[in-house]
Amino acid sequence: MSIAGTVLLGLGLFFMAVTAVGLVRLPDFFSRVHSVSKSETLGITLVLLGLIAHLIAAQGGFDQTSLKLGLIALFVLITNPVAAHVLTRSAVRSGLMPWRRPRPGAGGNG
């Protein structure tokens, strides 16, 4: 196994874990989509690059499978941000408002 491939896989899994935490912890749709689109794109891309590095190390060179994984990574890099933009734009057009932190003293609870 190649060290570079292992490092890339580890980083990719880290960013996927950050994605899961952001999805659970953030308060509203817009924050969640922003967090998920950024870290998921990076996580998936790093995992795919790690797989490419492992394949190159195992087979002694670049082959058709590595090329396909590279094309999938490129596809993910292009489509994930576009999909996130389309989702948030449709949410804005449908009238969904972002979450706002309540001001201290407002709301009548003392």
Let me know if residue 67 belongs to a domain.
yes
Distances (CA, A) of 14 to 7, 21, 42, 86: 10, 11, 10, 26
In a domain, 104, yes or no: no
- Tell me whether residue 11 is in a domain: yes
Instruction: With respect to residue 60, please indicate whether it lies within any of the assigned structural domains.
Output: yes
Of the candidates 101, 98, 102, the one whose C-alpha atom is nearest the C-alpha of residue 30 is 98
pLDDT in tens, 49-74: 999 999 999 988 889 999 999 999 99
- 70 within domain boundaries: yes
Q: Read off the pLDDT band of 106 (50, 70, 90).
A: low
3-state SS assignment for residue 26: coil
Residue 102, domain member (yes or no): no
Mean pLDDT along residues 97-105: 78
Residue 23: which domain range? Answer: 3-93
Answer yes or no: is 105 within a domain. no
**pLDDT higher than threshold 90 for residue 40:** yes
Structure confidence at residue 110 (pLDDT): 47
Q: What is the pTM of this model?
A: 0.83
Domain count, the chain: 1
